[in-house]
Structure 1
Amino acid sequence: MKALRTSAAVLALTSGLLALSAQAEVVQQNASGDPLYTVEAPKGYAMVGDLVIARPLLIGATAIGAAAFIVSLPFTALGGNVGEAAQSLVVEPGREAFVRCLGCTSSGYKQD
């Protein structure tokens, strides 16, 4: 009976400690110390993977999106959604390919 209580206590304590580490969030701040602007610090392997794999694919997606936009332009003009088509086919992949920092997961460029 004592072994069961000890095992239950150890299990409860371990689960509690594991849950605390899952709730912890590390937020780095920029030089101004303003918590509104967070800085993403990617690892070296993320930068290399981004440079070798993701950027060429995103540049290709931008070129293919531009070609698809030109082909679909008569239809989108008739439908009245030229801006939305340009945004989703050309601007978004281009922003991720050219504006996003190397290895970052978000572009950091927010236009209001």
Structure 2
Amino acid sequence: MKAFRTTVAGLALLMGAASMPAQADYAVQENISGDPMYSVDAPPAFAMIGDLLIARPLLIGATVIGAGVFVVSLPFTAAGGGIGRAGKALVVDPGKEAFVRCLGCTRSGYNRQD
């Protein structure tokens, strides 16, 4: 009887270990954890090329122009108390899209899906 229990326990452990990669693959594909950091974003090559040649230069230009507009509007926004919101809208948001977003991705962040 002891050999039977050992065999059954060994087979159960073996089957459990054999199914772990399949469970991990399912969890990654379906993002069971709910954490957006584990979502896979694999954009196609044409999206990367368009992003590199068109979107990034425009976003960098928008960041520079936004910084200039922010400096010019700073006295008015300081009087109204909206320096943080103006800075975020004019400088941080375009800069985040230009420098933090992965190439070809549609959402910003380090491979995150917000």
TM score, norm. by length of structure 2: 0.65
CA distance in structure 1 between the partners assigned to 2:33 and 2:72 by the alignment: 45
CA distance in structure 2 between the partners assigned to 1:102 and 1:33 by the alignment: 25
Structure 1 or 2: more helix by fraction: 2
CA distance in structure 2 between the partners assigned to 1:108 and 1:29 by the alignment: 19
Partner of 2:4: none
Q: Unaligned 5+ residue runs, structure 2?
A: 1-26
CA distance in structure 1 between the partners assigned to 2:32 and 2:81 by the alignment: 45
Instruction: Mark the structure with the bigger radius of gyration.
Output: 2
The residue correspondences of 1:35-50 to structure 2 (distance < 5 A) are: 35-36=34-35, 37-50=38-51
Identity %: 63
Shift of 1:64: 0.4
User: Which secondary structure does the structure 1 equivalent of 2:28 belong to?
Assistant: coil
Q: Unaligned 5+ residue runs, structure 1?
A: 1-27
User: Which secondary structure does the structure 2 equivalent of 1:104 belong to?
Assistant: coil
Shift of 1:29: 3.0
Cα deviation digits, residues 23-80 of structure 1 (max 9, x gap): xxxxx938x9845221110000000000000000000000000000000000000000
Cα deviation digits, residues 84-110 of structure 1 (max 9, x gap): 000000000000000000000001357
Partner of 1:11: none
CA distance in structure 1 between the partners assigned to 2:109 and 2:54 by the alignment: 20
CA distance in structure 1 between the partners assigned to 2:90 and 2:70 by the alignment: 6
The residue correspondences of 1:72-111 to structure 2 (distance < 5 A) are: 72-109=73-110
How many residue pairs match? The answer is 82
Letter of the 1:46 partner, please give it.
Answer: A
TM score, norm. by length of structure 1: 0.67
Q: Which has the higher contact order (CA 8 A, sep 6+)?
A: 2
